[in-house]
Amino acid sequence: MDEIQSLMHGFAIALTLKNIAFMFVGVILGVIIGVLPGLGGANGVAILLPLTFSMAQVPGGTTTAIILLSSIYWGALFGGAITSILFNIPGEPWSVATTFDGYPLAQQGRAGAALTAAFTSSFVGALVAVIMITFLSPRVAKFALEFGPPEFFAVYLLTFCAFIGMSKEAPFKTLASMMLGFALAAVGTDPVTGTLRLTFGFTEALNGFDFLIAVIGLFGIGEILLTLEEGLAFQGTSAKINFKVVMETWRELPKYWLTSIRSAAVGCFMGIVPGGATPASFMSYGVAQRFSKDGEKFGTGVVEGVVAPETAAHAAGTSALLPMLTLGVPGSPTAAVLLGGLLVWGLQPGPLLFVEQKDFVWGLIASMYLGNIAGLIVVLTCVPLFAAILRIPFSVIAPVIMVICAIGAYTVHNSQFDIWMMMVFGVMGYLFKKLSYPLAPLVLAIVLGDRAEASFRQAMLVSEGDMSVFFSNALVGGMTGLALFLLCWRLLSAALAALRNRLRGS
Amino acid sequence: MAEGSGERAAAHYKRVDIVVALIFLAFGAIVAFDSWRLGAKWGDDGPQSGYFPFYIGLIICLSSIVNLLNGFAIRGERDKVFVKVGQLKLVLAVLLPTMVYVGCISWLGIYLASVFFVAFFMRWLGKYTWWKVVLLSVGNSLFFFVIFEFWFMIPLPKGPLESALGLG
């Protein structure tokens, strides 16, 4: 039981007064970010990342920094449920399924019960996922220590093909958006030879595009522009949550234990796969609806319909950190930003992290347990406060969020050009969202582009240009095969469907 | 936003979809072309610099051609309203001032520009009374000034006002 021992060591690192303080600060900031339109987990963490530069300089500071940032993530996950239930506005894509039953419950005056159920099941989902991370990640990391460039490229390939195979958006739009990310990542200096690529003589392009700017623009500015279309005021029900409601709901929740287990399992599995949180919440809602004896009442306001998607979404959101820590391949945009943080602080994500940075890794894992407990306490006690934030008129909150985004974009590289880039990405995010070009693969491609290319070229150098290196053993062959299967199956079925429509149409 | 003119469609889905696919196509072509110029073949020491981006550009072109065809195939009621006039007006009412704001940052500094930006919004869209406008817009910038310049020690762009006050 090495893991238990390491975990206890992690608790010893995480449980300092400073770290606990930053945990609560992070969770509170995170909930606010999750509640505010235009700010979500990914861009909230991206904006605050530059503030941790100096924090990470002191010994043990990287642990404090990651605790702050990951707590913001937990807070944002909790915050998404507040807007879904009270305002029928999903703060994050994976909160959409929560609105199906959460908002009707709130309209019936049972907002307190819906919120308590959502927060508690989020907590349960996250807890299951953290336990899985605790026991599974050291094994995955150990396994991945043997990986060479071909294996890593196969992992990247699988990651990106899974996006195309699993996303509900049109596969060729997913492909176009992803490749745009790769192209943007290629701008600047070639990591292998040092040649300048795709700069077209612009000095600003020499260093390439920073994905933090892209995240702030795409998710921040783009989201605000989208929200604006709905008008300047939000209509919501009021939130009252008191001790009695919490206790009553907690007495009711154990009835849904089977739904919780099923949803947590779906969430954990889907979370490891990139882009899994949103499908996980929908899938788990659908499964719960089919198996529940109140199945036909789903959608009219049943607590079980809140439990299922929230458990799955949180389990998925948390387990998305597993591939990020062990392989250096993030499973979601927010995990990608956290990965960016690790790089900025001088840590190399991947299997070696578990060998060289034991304190950091186990401090982080221990803080996941603590952060979610802190989150549950904060949201249960402060809901009315957070709901009040959404009542601030948009004509005040929108410019302030714009200012925050601009400051966030500037501080990444102290460059005013980046603020302009942020605006460009903002308009892009608005258009892409409306035309259903998915944003997550775009962001992940910008983050991983250079490394995917480097591992591909290293593999090619070793094999002297022989592509069969990607099928040279069972492991790498299996991953490449699965990736190609996911890719071809989806692209072919889409192409065939399009062809059939054409033939029928003409 | 129930006024009749605001409900008209400013753009339909099909047209925007096609335009964006065309932009993608052009972008992919530029990427592929520039990578070819760099050398996208197989050198003596493995793939050349342009090898990877060349195929990226090629895939962008191919997938945007499919998207283009799909866009042209949109017919009848599937061609939804992309954005209504009223919605577009609201979006532009925020987007254009923000552009001006970003432009102002370089000569006014981020703090003063933010004061004007927030004040403009509150007065123009929110119709707040002047004392509330001044209080909130100045307070907002002061708050960020204290946080960044003193607490986190991260200097943000400053302008003539800060240097006149001896702070920049």
Taking alpha carbons only, the member of B148, B164, B147 closest to residue B156 is B148
Instruction: Answer yes or no: do B46 and A406 touch at CB < 8 A.
Output: no
A120: distance to nearest CA of chain B, Å? 34
Q: Is the CB of B108 inside 8 Å of chain A's CB atoms?
A: no
Which chain A residues contact residue B128 at CB under 8 A? Answer: 395-396
**What pTM was computed for the model?**
0.85
Which of B17, B31, B142, B146 best tests the A interface by mutation, with the highest count of A CBs <10 A? B31
Taking alpha carbons only, the member of B77, B71, B64, B148 closest to residue B114 is B148
* Domain locations along chain A: 2-505
Asked whether the predicted pLDDT for residue A505 surpasses 80, the reply is no
Give the C-alpha distances (Å, rounded to integers) separating A94 from A29, A77, A91, A99, A194.
20, 9, 8, 10, 40
Instruction: Answer yes or no: do B67 and A51 touch at CB < 8 A.
Output: no
pLDDT-derived band at B1 (thresholds 50, 70, 90) equals: very low
Identify the three-state secondary structure at position A181: helix
Among A200, A430, A453, the residue with its CB nearest the CB of B52 is: A453
Instruction: Answer yes or no: do B59 and A200 touch at CB < 8 A.
Output: no
Give me the total of CB pairs closer than 8 Å, taking one residue from chain A and one from chain B: 172
Nearest residue of chain B to residue A432 (CA atoms) = B20
Which chain A residues contact residue B69 at CB under 8 A? Answer: 498
Name the more confident of A336 and A38: A336
Q: Is the CB of B36 inside 8 Å of chain A's CB atoms?
A: no
Q: Compute the average pLDDT of residues A206-223.
A: 83
pLDDT score, position A411 = 87
Residue with tokens 């009252």: A240
Q: Compute the average pLDDT of residues A449-454.
A: 83
A472: distance to nearest CA of chain B, Å? 19
Query: With contact defined as beta carbons under 8 Å apart, do A177 and A439 qualify?
Result: yes
pLDDT digit string (tens) for A67-122?
Answer: 999 999 889 888 888 888 887 777 667 777 888 888 888 888 888 888 888 999 99
Q: Is the CB of B54 inside 8 Å of chain A's CB atoms?
A: no
B164: distance to nearest CA of chain A, Å? 22
CA A474 – CA A130 distance, rounded (Å): 30
Q: Compute the average pLDDT of residues A27-46.
A: 84
Instruction: Answer yes or no: do A498 and B136 touch at CB < 8 A.
Output: no
To the nearest whole number, what is the mean pLDDT of chain A? 83
Token pair for A221: 């500015």
Q: Is the CB of B121 inside 8 Å of chain A's CB atoms?
A: yes
Provide ipTM, 2 decimals: 0.90
Which chain A residues contact residue B21 at CB under 8 A? Answer: 176
Find the range with the poorest average confidence among A79-93, A209-223, A231-245, A397-411.
Answer: A231-245
Alpha helix positions (H), A293-357: 304-319, 321-327, 333-344, 353-356
Which chain B residues contact residue A224 at CB under 8 A? Answer: 94
Taking alpha carbons only, the member of A246, A372, A262 closest to residue A308 is A262
Asked whether the predicted pLDDT for residue A335 surpasses 90, the reply is no
* Domain locations along chain B: 8-79, 85-164
